[in-house]
């Protein structure tokens, strides 16, 4: 079972660690601010008739005789959107990449919900295939786990650009957009991430691959089946072709890391052999939350 009692205990453990170090550590404290009745000073504005005298800056008045009101910043809850790749390539591996993707999504969502942030999950392949609508409060975690449990790898292709184009057209507040995927996208993963950035979302990449995808041990005359389109192709794999493939895969992985670094995005790359708990703890350390 993907989400059992032990899984829920681990979620609470991860949430406590995140809260103990500092609130929202994994989510990098990407909170928005608005002017309101908070406690963090922002700036001054001139007094106007009817304003509350309690907000006057009496120190400024004593020194300069100016009637100025203090303005404070008030934190708004963070909106966290998970874009979860449900394409057929995510079903590859043992354990399947899709299992780790759903577990990591659940763990980070629980941490956000425990911090009273708002969470939504958008499941996609070549298009959006299912939605878990924006919700708040950690009592919603069981509904979220049921939603994730019922998802299956599907579709005939992966198209993050098309998915994000539909996603950003929705009437919703901007927030953190966590893309959980292998990023095996024929049209290029950059298009979707670029669009998220340009629409002022804050993308975070969690890319998962299986070790055999990086270092296959195939040789000779074989017939390859595209896991997503189910098309067949007969090929001859030589040692040289294998070396070229491995180099191309390494270049692909490096391009993802370089993209994240270029635009200052959070970028986590992992194999599906990692336990979800260890992966989330690693993300905390990378964010500087743990020593």
Number of structural domains found in the chain: 1
Residue, of 151 and 74, whose pLDDT is higher: 151
Rounded to whole angstroms, the Cα distance separating 83 from 86 reads 9
Residue 153 lies inside a defined structural domain of this protein: yes
Q: Is residue 186 part of a domain?
A: yes
pLDDT at res. 286: 81
Looking at per-residue confidence, does 127 or 68 come out higher? 127
Cβ atoms of 83 and 201 closer than 8 Å? no
CATH number, residue 146: 3.40.50.410
Summary count for the chain: helices (H), strands (E)? 9, 11
Could you tell me if residue 38 is inside a domain?
Answer: no
Residue 190 φ then ψ, to 5°? -60, -35
40 is a domain residue: no
* Residue 90 domain flag: yes
In a domain, 216, yes or no: no
pLDDT at 245 over 50: yes
Lowest average pLDDT, out of 97-101, 226-230, 233-237, 265-269, goes to 226-230
Q: Is residue 26 a contact partner of residue 108, using CB atoms and an 8 Å limit?
A: yes
Q: Which residue has the higher pLDDT, 75 or 195?
A: 195
Residue 58 lies in a domain: no
pTM score, whole prediction: 0.83
> Which tokens hold the place of 1?
């079972």
Q: Is residue 24 scored above 50 in pLDDT?
A: no
Encode pLDDT of 208-231 as tens digits: 999 999 999 889 999 988 888 888
For residue 73, CA distances in Å to 32, 53, 93, 202 come to: 10, 18, 47, 21
Examine residue 17 and state whether it is found in any structural domain, yes or no: no
Domain containing residue 109: 79-211+267-284
The pLDDT value recorded for residue 240 is 95
- CB neighbours of 6 closer than 8 A, spacing ≥ 6? none
Of 79, 151, 154, 64, the residue nearest 109 (C-alpha):
79
Cβ 82 vs Cβ 108: under 8 Å: yes
Mean pLDDT taken over the chain: 87
- Structure confidence at residue 160 (pLDDT): 97
State the Cα angle at 84 between 31 and 94, rounded to 5°: 130
pLDDT tens-place string over residues 89-124: 999 999 999 999 999 999 999 999 988 899 999 999
Mean pLDDT of 153-164: 93
């Amino acid at each position: 079972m993907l989400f059992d009692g032990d899984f829920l205990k681990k979620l609470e453990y991860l949430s406590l660690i995140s809260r103990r170090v500092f609130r929202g550590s994994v989510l990098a404290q990407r909170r928005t601010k608005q002017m309101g009745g908070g406690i963090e000073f922002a700036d001054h504005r001139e007094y106007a008739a009817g304003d509350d005298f309690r907000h006057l800056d009496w120190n400024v008045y004593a020194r300069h005789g100016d009637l100025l009101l203090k303005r404070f910043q008030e934190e708004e809850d963070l909106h966290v959107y998970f874009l979860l790749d449900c394409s057929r390539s995510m079903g590859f591996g043992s354990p399947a990449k899709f299992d780790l993707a759903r577990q990591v999504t659940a763990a980070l969502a629980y941490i956000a919900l425990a911090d009273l942030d708002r969470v939504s999950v958008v499941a996609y392949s070549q298009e959006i295939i299912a939605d878990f609508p924006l919700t708040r409060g950690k009592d919603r975690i069981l509904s979220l786990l049921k939603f994730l449990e019922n998802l299956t790898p599907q579709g005939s292709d992966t198209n993050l650009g098309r998915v994000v184009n539909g996603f950003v057209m929705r009437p919703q507040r901007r927030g953190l957009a966590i893309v959980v995927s292998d990023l095996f996208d024929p049209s290029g993963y950059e298009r979707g991430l670029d669009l998220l950035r340009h629409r002022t979302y804050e993308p975070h990449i969690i890319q998962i691959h299986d070790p055999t995808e990086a270092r296959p041990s195939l040789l000779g005359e074989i017939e390859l089946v595209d896991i997503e389109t189910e098309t067949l192709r007969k090929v001859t794999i030589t040692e040289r072709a294998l070396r070229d493939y491995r180099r191309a895969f390494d270049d692909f992985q490096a391009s993802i890391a370089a993209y994240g670094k270029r635009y200052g995005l959070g970028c986590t790359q992992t194999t599906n052999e990692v336990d979800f708990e260890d992966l989330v703890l690693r993300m905390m350390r990378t964010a500087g939350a743990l020593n």
